[in-house]
Amino acid sequence: MKRISLLLFILLLPVFAVAGFYGYLWWRVTDSADRAVAQASPFMEISYDGVRIDLLATEVALQDLRVAPMGMGDQMRIEEVVLKSQDWSQMMRLDGNLQHEPWPEGLSLRLDGMLFHLDGPMMQQWTALALQAQPQPSYTFGRFCSSLQGAELMQAMGYRMINLDMAMGYQFNPGTQRMTIDMEVDAKQLSDFSFQMVFEASDSTLTAAAMSGAAALQSVSMDARDKGFNRRYREYCATQAGVQDEQFDAALGEEFIQLGQLIGLRPPETVVQHVVGMYRPGANLGFKLQPAHPVGQFDMAGLDSPEAFIELLNPSLNINGQQITAPQIGEFLQEAMVAVAVPEPEPEAQVLIEPQIERTEPIEPEVVAEKATAVPQVAKAQAYQTPVTPPVKGYRATPLSDMAQHVGKPVRMVTYFGRRIEGRILEINRHQVMIEQRMQRGVATYSIARDKVAELEVYR
């Protein structure tokens, strides 16, 4: 009998250990959740119905979470909030001081079934706060259909609520010191969105210090795909403005061109077609930054112009399967900048200079016969005048080292990226050149990095 009892104890010992560990985790999760609820109580009411723990998947979750901001009379519901790590030792580390201690090498947070109503007080309050934060009314495409935007536009299109799943997290590889940050959003009947950013940390141990100022950017990618919004939007426009698909595309393209003209840009036809294509059902958009080498904060601080951004970060776009490379983006910027040619200064009037002739003998008075024809005084003066033509002014190649000597003069510049600029130098310092450029609808003033200027011509 004693042997049977001992055998049963040995067999049940792992079960007791797992049950004890599970109970300990359940206590830790509920204690942390209750403390978070208490800390948020001055701002919002948070409640949940249960706790789920998956020992094999290293997951803990709060189920049926309800968040009600104070004073709004409304709440947002989340079916499940899931926290996942690589192992339980790293999960337990979350209670420590992550400001000074190593972070877990992998962590993710997932929100499943996030639901809120568009006509609720919470959404109305958020919309009002967003409008107050805007320094001026924002411009939205499709004004030929309606001026509605945000939650009001979505309600007019037939949406009553937003239902989405969201996941965000990171993975760190100590060997390569690479940290990958991911985010995915699936908005039902609206769109999909994914985002990824890759950093290179300064140490093989992931800490707050390693990711502060010394981390370098390796790549950024973003993808978005329509899942119903564009179809409803076009149907809404057809009802409001009486336009069909082809008319919708034409009206949207014309509106984009007009918007470009307001800010001094002339988008090429291919760009207009790409913009229109993003409003077609099932449209997808991809964006990438793929620099040739990791980019640190000092490199980012030096991005003072679009061409510098393109040259350093090497962006690319993918719109409905059509790839747009960095050189094509740079070409678009060059074509879109509509610069009114700087007016040529009027040529100075030619001045006739009388030559100074040295005389060694006294000039005898001229004897004129009484019947001789008198020579006009003007004609006599012309006999002693020699026209001198000043050099013809124009744009002349000038050493970059002499740039500071030509402040206020019309110039032509070519950057290392190949962009051509024509304008007037307003100011120069050690790092920047301030240029005034006449545009179609006014004057634009902007700066160019001095070390990015490859060629210089000055009108003189």
**Residue 169 within a domain:** no
Residue 401, domain CATH: 2.30.30.100
In 283-381, at which residue ranges do the beta strands (DSSP E only) sit?
284-289, 315-319, 322-324, 352-353
Helix (H) or strand (E) holding 427: strand 420-428
**Residue 376 within a domain:** no
**What tokens appear for 123 in the block?**
């959404």
Rounded to whole angstroms, how far apart are CA atoms 10 and 16?
A: 10
Residue 205's pLDDT band (cuts 50, 70, 90): confident
**Residue 180 within a domain:** no
**Residue 414 within a domain:** yes
pLDDT tens digit sequence for 289-344: 999 888 887 777 777 777 788 888 899 999 999 998 888 887 777 666 543 333 44
Rounded to whole angstroms, how far apart are CA atoms 61 and 68?
A: 19
Residues 6+ apart with CB under 8 A from 136: none
Nearest to 235 by CA among 247, 246, 227, 245: 245
Nearest to 459 by CA among 380, 375, 345: 345
pLDDT for residue 76 is more than 60: yes
State which residues form the domain around 30: 9-117
pLDDT tens digit sequence for 400-436: 888 888 898 899 888 765 667 888 888 888 778 888 8
**% residues pLDDT > 70 (the chain):** 75
- How many domains would you assign to the chain? 2
**Residue 194 within a domain:** no
CA dihedral 289, 294, 300, 303 (to 10 degrees): -60
pTM above 0.85, yes or no: no
Which of 93, 117, 141 represents a domain boundary (last residue)? 117
Sheet holding 453-459: strands in order across?
395-397, 453-459, 410-415, 420-428, 432-439, 442-449
Which of 57, 90, 117 represents a domain boundary (last residue)? 117
pLDDT for residue 88 is more than 80: yes
**Region at 119 (left for phi over 0; alpha for psi -120 to 50; beta for the rest):** alpha
Q: CA-CA distances (angstroms) from residue 116 to 49, 121, 297, 372, 424?
A: 18, 10, 38, 111, 54
CA dihedral 411, 415, 421, 422 (to 10 degrees): 10
**Residue 313 within a domain:** no
Q: What pLDDT is stored for residue 337 in this prediction?
A: 56
Residue 114's pLDDT band (cuts 50, 70, 90): very high
Q: How many H-runs (helices) and E-runs (strands) does the chain carry?
A: 11, 20
**Residue 407 within a domain:** yes
Q: What pLDDT is stored for residue 389 in this prediction?
A: 57
Residue 10's pLDDT band (cuts 50, 70, 90): low
Which of 77, 95, 117 represents a domain boundary (last residue)? 117
Q: Helix or strand or coil: residue 126?
A: helix
**Residue 64 within a domain:** yes
The residue count of the chain comes to: 460
pLDDT tens digit sequence for 354-368: 334 344 444 444 444
Nearest to 443 by CA among 424, 427, 459: 424
Residues 251/238, Cβ–Cβ less than 8 Å:
no
